[in-house]
Amino acid sequence: MNQTCTVKKYTFGTPFPTHAVVREVPAETGEVQELLVKGEGRVLQLLLDAEDIVFGLGEQVRGLNKRGWKYISNNTDESNHAEGKHSLYGSHNFLLVDGIEKIGLFVDTPGRVTFDIGYSMSEQMRIEVEDPDYDLYVITGPSSDAVVRCFRGLIGRSYIPPRWAFGYGQSRWSYETADEVREVVREHRERGIPLDMVYLDIDYMDQYEDFTVDETKFPDFAGFVQEMKEQHVHLVPIIDAGVKKAEGTYPVYDEGMEKGYFCKDESGKPYEVAVWPGRSYLPDFFREDVRTWFGDQYRSLLDLGIDGFWNDMNEPAIFYSDRRLKETFEKIGEFQKQNLDVHSFFEFLDTITGLFNSPEDYKALWHDTEVGRVCHDKVHNLYGALMTRAASEGFRRAEPEKRVLMFSRSSYIGSHRDAGIWQGDNKSWWSHLKLSVQMTASLNMCGFLYTGADAGGFADDVSPDLLLRWLGFAIFTPLLRNHSMRGTRRQEIWRMVRTEECKQILSLRYAFLPYIYSEYMKAAFADDMLFKPLAFAYPEDHRARHVEDQLLFGEGLMLAPVVEQNAWGRYVYLPEDMKLLRMRSAQDYDEEILEKGDHWVPAMEHEVLVFIRPDRLVPFGSGSAMYVDEVSETGLSVLGYVKTKASYELYTDDGVRRVERLEDGELSRFESFR
Ligand code: GLC
């Protein structure tokens, strides 16, 4: 906790307990002093100076600087991450106004919040909180860095995955059979492409029933998990929020129904929805007993040797509800009798598409919460977070000593303690590579350190150059997974035409792994960010403050990914002299000291640009490892740019035991003098 910051909490009405904040902060009485509060306290306004940058909001569209758009916290299964959108899968209501003063704002409410950041009026930020009951935290401090750390201190330590989860993972919707997975592993191993994880998407399940395995496609699953482990590959299955309706044949459904564990309608009847398996029910994760029950279900797979999961469709995504489907069919009957014209034709289309993730369904669902019955609509943004909490608590009971990999699609601040998140259903678009660069740093501010986008892009067809460039950035994100949607071009590295170059880029991940792991752990325990906008380190440098596509990565590096098609390099702004490494593999790179200022830096598609800051050292391995457990922390070489003297503290541990503080691992220090 940084002592130089001031935290003030303002409580409006009786807020719903989100448990996002873990530190007790006494509430102020009287008016919010830092802001001009209008209306009934649901509207907060702040004047922005032309120079102010507004950082934050975690998983959202657009750039690092959020000015100029309207963002709405409303967790949405949004498969089109276009700049005209307002909401994605998570709600991360933390903003940092970085101007002469540094102000952090956290609007703690599970309902909708609209952040109009210079969208209606350029010089004004207007925050509208839908629910009049909420907590507002206002943090002021001497620097952006201090304010973010202070905020992070309030919300508690970030999730720490097992070390193997820093390896490369290959995914596809879906690898349908054990033999298909074997083929994936064989192709990687035979061609010397590193691999630590293969992800199992929905088709591993028996009829899309959570916590089951289709025995015809994956016979002797426990044996198969073991066989993969022997090849140093962890299988990571998906778990969806919806539980299939299957009376008498699916014990999870039967028990959930019998014990009344599913979300109900206003009259108390379980509310039927549909997701992948068709008719399903949503567990009421707002109830502690339901969380315990659901969290304990993961055991069935843990017992088979599984040690990692991804939680999905937990906004929650709803294809349709029984109730609204009936209404829709009736309406369609009416349309059938009409001449569908300019109005009615589009109304007809909307009637059908409107079934999907309908706000009407969110209004019809009810939860039994720790403070009584609450309509889902009021607490919508917490649902995914509570599913993940259920899993995380289940892991603690099942594996008290061991770290389990978990990342989720939907989240709220607080989930960062339980899991990571992936950045959802992006597309194989250059703009989405850039979005991932910006989103990763924004998520770090909100505590989500274990994050990454689907490398190569999930939907649409990837091109070999995009995959190369994408890997050039993704090798630095803690979660490194190549995932793609069914029906799209196959995206596995070995199936692409530039396999060898992709493989060389991946070798860099394994060479940097001791640094990445060390920096991750240090960031987690210091409530720090792993990826930072340049503004955080060079606040006085006007140019640096506004750079949107370069990030500091840990204490020693700056990254400048190429995010444009057919570019032979890029302009890079250096706020101080740095050493450029133009890397083709862990063995093959050239170095050059570049002076502070602007540079055109050539970078072919198979080259990754890495900059070392002055007087910093970076431990570096051989890059020959085929999986994380093969990465040795002894015999490392050191990359560095030493002007006078530099030192580095390397963190190591066994990679699986749960750790609560930095001292639970080992720190070894090395130094270098010029
Ligand atoms: C959702 C997930 C995606 C997954 C698909 C099938 O769209 O976001 O990652 O592949 O569902 O499970």
Report CA(458)–ligand 1 centroid distance (Å).
9
Most informative mutation of 238, 310, 428 for ligand 1 (most atoms within 8 A of CB): 238
Nearest CA residue ID for atom 3, ligand 1 = 425
Residues 84-94 have pLDDT tens digits of 999 999 999 99
The answer to whether residues 530 and 523 touch, using CB atoms and an 8 Å cutoff, is yes
Length of the chain equals 674
Counting ligand 1 atoms within 8 A of each CB, the residue from 175, 201, 479 with the most, and so the one to mutate, is 201
HSE-up of residue 376 (Cα within 13 Å, Cβ side)? 26
Q: Are 90 and 416 in contact (CB under 8 A)?
A: no
Mutate to test the pocket of ligand 1, among 312, 313, 458 (most ligand atoms within 8 A of CB): 312
pLDDT the model gives residue 26 = 94
CA of 586 to the centre of ligand 1 (A): 33
- Rounded distance, CA 381 to CA 58, Å? 14
Give tens-digit pLDDT for 435-458. Answer: 999 999 999 999 999 999 999 999
User: If DSSP codes are grouped into helix, strand and coil, which group holds residue 599?
Assistant: strand
Q: What is the mean pLDDT of the chain?
A: 97
> So what's the pLDDT on residue 424?
98
Closest residue by Cα to atom 7, ligand 1, is 425
Looking from the CA of residue 174, the nearest atom of ligand 1 is: 10
Nearest atom within ligand 1 for CA of residue 173: 10
- 30 — pLDDT class (breaks 50, 70, 90): confident
Alpha-helix runs per DSSP H in 249-364: 251-258, 288-297, 299-302, 322-336, 344-353, 359-364
The per-residue pLDDT for range 632-641, each reduced to its tens digit, is 988 899 999 9
- Going by alpha carbons, the residue nearest to atom 10 of ligand 1 is 173
Taking the centre of ligand 1 as the mean of its atom positions, its distance from the CA of residue 178, in whole angstroms, is 19
Evaluate if residue 39 carries a pLDDT over 90: no
Residue 207: half-sphere exposure toward Cβ, Cα within 13 Å? 10
| pLDDT value at 161 more than 90 | yes
Instruction: Give 189-233 pLDDT, tens digit per residue.
Output: 999 999 999 999 999 999 999 999 999 999 999 999 999 999 999
Q: Is 86 helix (H, G, I), strand (E, B) or coil?
A: coil
CA of 576 to the centre of ligand 1 (A): 42
Ligand 1 center from residue 380 Cα (angstroms) = 20
Report how far ligand 1's centroid is from the alpha carbon of 313 (Å): 8
The closest alpha carbon to 283, from 255, 307, 306, 303, belongs to 255
pLDDT of residue 2: 47
**Torsions phi, psi for 102 (to 5 deg):** -115, 115
Å from CA of 600 to ligand 1 middle = 39
Give the pLDDT score at 139. Answer: 96
Neighbouring C-beta atoms of residue 223, cutoff 10 Å: 13
pTM to 2 decimal places:
0.98
C-alpha 395/C-alpha 401 separation (Å) is 10
Pocket test for ligand 1, best of 173, 356, 427 (most atoms within 8 A of CB): 173
Span 163-182, mean pLDDT?
98
The stretch 175-187 carries a mean pLDDT of 98
CA 469 from centroid of its chain's CA atoms: 20
Ligand 1 centroid from CA 275, angstroms: 12
CA dist 245 and 273 (Å) reads 9
Q: How far is the CA of 641 from the centre of ligand 1 (A)?
A: 43
Residue 138: pLDDT band (50, 70, 90) is very high
The set of residues, in sequence order, having a beta carbon less than 8 Å from that of 270 and lying 6+ positions away, is: 257, 260, 262, 263, 264, 281
CA distance 613 to 577: 7
Q: Are strands 124-129 and 43-47 parallel, antiparallel or unpaired?
A: antiparallel
Which residues partner with 14 through β-bridges? none
pLDDT in tens, 523-571: 999 999 999 999 999 999 999 999 999 999 999 999 999 999 999 999 9
Residues with CB under 6 A from ligand 1: 173, 201-202, 238, 312, 409, 424-425, 483
**pLDDT the model gives residue 182:** 98
Question: Alpha helices of 493-550 — where are they, by DSSP H?
Answer: 499-525, 542-545
**pLDDT-wise least confident of 32-46, 275-289, 642-656:** 32-46
Q: Tokens 């750790």 map to which residue? A: 659
Encoding tokens for residue 636?
A: 């490392």
409 CA closest ligand 1 atom index: 8
Report whether pLDDT(1) > 50: no
Across 170-181, average pLDDT: 98
**112 has pLDDT over 70:** yes
pLDDT at 145: 97
Stated as kind and residue range, the H or E segment containing 168 is: strand 168-170
pLDDT in tens, 323-349: 899 999 999 999 999 999 999 999 999
CB atoms within 10 A of CB 289: 12
Residue 369 has pLDDT above 50, yes or no: yes
* pLDDT at residue 31 in the model: 76
In this prediction, residue 3 carries a pLDDT of 56
Atom of ligand 1 lying closest to residue 79 CA: 7
Closest CA relative to residue 452, chosen from 143, 115, 199, 154: 199
